[in-house]
Amino acid sequence: MRLNHGLHLAYCTNIHRGEDWPQTFESLKTDVMAVRERVCPDKPYAIGLRLSDQASRELLAPDELDRFKAWLDEENCYVFTINGFPYGQFHNTRVKEQVYAPDWRTQERLDYTNRLFDILAALVPEGVEGSVSTLPGSFKEFITDDAELEPIYDNLWKCAEHIDGLSQRTGRRLHLGLEPEPLGLFENSEECVRFFAAANQSRPDDDRFNRFIGINYDTCHLAVEYESAKDAIGALKGAGIFISKLHLSSALKVKPTPETLAALKAFGDDVYLHQVIARKADGSLIRAKDLDIALAEGSAIHAPGIEEWRIHFHIPLHSPATELFDNTSDHLIEVLDLLKDNPALCSHLEMETYTWEVMPGELKNRNVVDQLVGEYEWTLDQLRQRGLG
């Protein structure tokens, strides 16, 4: 939906199953429209679209994109952003670290992302920017030699060139957001700055990388890294890196008491990766690849002096803290305060709580439409308090 200061808010439809275009379109016509009816029935409604590789190919079949555009016009809806992080199936199967595959070393990832921009350029309304979010190059474990970084930089440059051409032909401002995530190739602001500097080294007189590629800033991910939003965003801006999109999300935050660690087992699942970062009293960090690894006896993350765990598990934005489980909404609030002070920081806001299907029962105590309406209500209230809604 359109907000003050030229901001746009949507929720990411990766919360719904949709591995091919017919399934994706069906979820738009049912769940998405049911949410829209309750939060924005009479004004243009923004959709944060998630398309798999298969769905993107099917949407570009003859006349299919025109049919979708006609449906958007009929329903008074518009698309301003596409989530291009998960390439393949994202529900009801083991995703884990394979959500990073194929990574930016591959032609498959480049072709898929360029295809998403072709679709977005045809959909985004005049006067509205269009963004696609993607993975942070690769997963740390996938890269065994620095030489493997060169095809990542090369393919991202090719994507920047593609975006440049589309932007010139269509008159639309389009951009790609690389999404730092725990254990991604770059996962915090310091690593982001180093990555962008390295990517620009090969073409020091070409500014297109920093014009068309920025950061998809996920508030859950940067909070799990124990970063202050002011410091992280300040570091990115200082390096000339823009914020392509803000993912509004919240992570679990706990004190690792025996009672809490026992209760955390309910958050383990066989679908998504739930990286854990623990902080010791001296401020040093210890990382575990997944929650089950962190919970295992003898894990290094149980070292003496650990004060806190932060777990990459997206929980509902409106979930209150409990006796055992806190959350990182303070980081999200800090970002919204920065946006209040500078609405030009980023015009794309997207709520992303894709974990609904795997949430423990106490968090999944309503249907998905009620869940999403609750997130809209919480988010819009926070935005209105800051004159943004």
The CATH number of the domain where 214 resides is what? 3.20.20.150
Query: Has residue 315 been placed in a domain?
Result: no
Q: Could you tell me the two tokens for 292?
A: 């089950």
pLDDT of residue 367: 94
What's the domain range around 126? Answer: 4-251+324-385
pLDDT of residue 363: 87
pLDDT of residue 299: 87
Q: What is the mean pLDDT of each run of 10 residues along the chain (389 residues)?
A: 97 96 98 98 98 98 96 98 97 95 98 98 97 98 97 98 97 97 98 98 94 98 98 98 98 96 96 97 94 91 91 96 96 98 98 96 89 97 97
The tally of domains found in the chain comes to: 1
Peptide bond into 180 cis (omega under 30): no
Query: Has residue 363 been placed in a domain?
Result: yes
pLDDT of residue 298: 82
Count how many residues are written for the chain: 389
DSSP classification of residue 124: S
Query: Has residue 257 been placed in a domain?
Result: no
Query: Has residue 160 been placed in a domain?
Result: yes
Query: Has residue 21 been placed in a domain?
Result: yes
Query: Has residue 240 been placed in a domain?
Result: yes
pLDDT of residue 148: 97
Cα-based torsion angle of the residue sequence 99, 104, 109, 113 in order, rounded to the nearest 10 degrees: 100
Query: Has residue 208 been placed in a domain?
Result: yes
pTM summary value: 0.97
Contacts of the segment 376-383: beta carbons below 8 A, 24+ positions apart:
376/11, 376/35, 376/39, 376/351, 377/39, 377/318, 378/317, 378/318, 379/9, 379/248, 379/317, 379/349, 379/351, 380/9, 380/39, 382/333, 382/336, 383/3, 383/7, 383/9, 383/336
Contact 177, 216 (CB under 8 A): yes
Q: Could you tell me the two tokens for 211?
A: 């014009």
pLDDT of residue 303: 82
pLDDT of residue 364: 84
Query: Has residue 317 been placed in a domain?
Result: no
pLDDT of residue 127: 95
